[in-house]
Amino acid sequence: MLSGSGCALWIVLLSHLETAYATYSEDQCSWMGSGLSQQPGSVEQISLHCAEGSLDWLYPKGALRLSLSPRLPSGAVGPGGAGRSSGLITACIKPEETFWGAQIYLERDGILELLVGDRPDSPQPPRVRCFSRPPGEKVALFLQATPHQDISRRIASFRYELRGDWNARLSLDSNTVHHEGACRPCNDTEILMAVCTSDFVVRGNIRSVLNDEDLRVSVIKVSASRVYRQKYSLFPTGGRLTKAGEIRTLLQCGVKPGAGSFLFTGRVHFGEAWLGCAPRYKDFRRAYEEARNTHEIPCELASD
């Protein structure tokens, strides 16, 4: 057991070691640092400039103020967009299951709103929290360390994602992002735009639907007959060379298994596929052929 002076020396040495980790990633997408190197009562200013990344705050002490300024394309649109950008930015943060030692607030024009509380003994995994920023509004995240006697286990880590014109179909938290229209079927214009802008475009059949009441999510298990596009390996090859994967959507949409072939589109959200537009394949082909005949098709899709 260390004496009082020995313990103090260990903390000093640990502080010097952690200072080396107070760094940005080379592309300024992520940050890692330690509260042991911060002055008491100080607020460290951090700025990240990517559409997605992470923050790891070891032994939280004092506070951090995080500004997120993604370099997004000027014409970024979501799968339900109409080809133009409103300038709206939607951000989501996903705390790690071991998140402990701090609280995360949304700072909007000097007003703080609690997004994530300190959760040392909670049995439930932390929820994804989302919020939107209108054009011209200054938004930041404020992380406040909570006092604890034991510094050895405290690590406040989370991942973030930001998108331009991310529509309600991809929102996860009804407290911060409106769900109006999230379960509405897409019209022909939205379907064709989804094919052009989605992270995945897959033709397939619904094998089953699993509902998670706690997370308010439905998981659609899909057998894919054709993968036109996918970000990451969402639909890997399974038995007999078929491809299978999972797509998530809001529980309130009440998705049920149905016969027939569908065209699934959507976004990748923290490594998971989230449903955008999902017309029956025959309805997509009808809309696609009509748009091509009138020279109004926004992009080409390989024919079967």
Per domain, the residue ranges of the chain are 4-170, 188-293
pLDDT at 166: 54
Q: How far apart are CA 105 and CA 56, in angstroms?
A: 16
pTM over 0.75: no
pLDDT at 151: 61
* Domain 188-293 listed as CATH 2.40.50.120: yes
Please give the average pLDDT of every successive group of 10 residues along the chain, which has 304 residues: 39 37 74 84 88 91 88 47 57 89 88 84 75 76 84 84 61 43 85 92 94 88 91 75 86 88 92 92 94 90 74
